[in-house]
A = this chain, B = another copy of it.
Amino acid sequence: MRLRVYYEDTDTGGVVYHSNYLNFCERARSDVFFNQKITPVLAKGHFVAKRLEANYIASAKLGDELEVISELIEFKAASFKLLQNIYKSDKKIFELNISLVYVDFNSKPQKITQDVKELIMKLFSSRAITNKS
């Protein structure tokens, strides 16, 4: 997933505001659904951030073209983990480890059903998934 850095993404420090890298990663997560003509809001719920670790390696500025690469790294009963790296001309500038939990429309965590699990596994490229479900 490729994106451009616009004025709105930057701050007075001249670079991308720190929390906007999380937005870029969220766009990438949603895009894997949109690219299949579906929405990330599924029939019985959706996924929300439960925990994340972010490493800021280098900064991006106005006009930069960035690429977000997402990789599924773990599956549990009610959540899954992604590793999302952001690259600027092949140089990694940001790394996110995010745990996403499946919640119903009252924000209650729920077990990931088999069909939803198959969808997620189809959507996200996976290299080495530790299946703990």
The 10 A-B pairs at the shortest CB distance, nearest first, are namely: A10-B12, A19-B22, A19-B19, A18-B49, A7-B11, A6-B27, A8-B23, A53-B53, A39-B63, A10-B11
Give the residues in chain B near A49, CB-CB below 8 Å. 18, 54, 56
Q: Mark A46-73, 1 if CB is under 8 A from B, else 0.
A: 1011111111100101110000000000
Q: Is the interface of A mostly helix, strand, loop or mixed?
A: mixed
**Chain B residue with the shortest CB-CB distance to A107:** B59
**Chain B residue with the shortest CB-CB distance to A21:** B19
**Chain B residue with the shortest CB-CB distance to A16:** B12
**Chain B residue with the shortest CB-CB distance to A18:** B49
Contact yes or no, A7 B17, CB < 8 A = yes
Give the interface residue-count category, chain A.
Answer: 35 or more
8 more A-B contacts (CB under 8 A) besides A4-B34, A10-B11? A7-B12, A12-B15, A18-B26, A18-B49, A19-B23, A19-B26, A39-B62, A53-B53
Partner of A7, one of B6, B13, B51: B13
A30 at the interface (CB under 8 A from B): yes
Q: List 8 A-B contacts (CB under 8 A).
A: A4-B30, A7-B40, A18-B26, A19-B19, A19-B20, A19-B22, A51-B54, A53-B53
Partner of A11, one of B11, B19, B59: B11
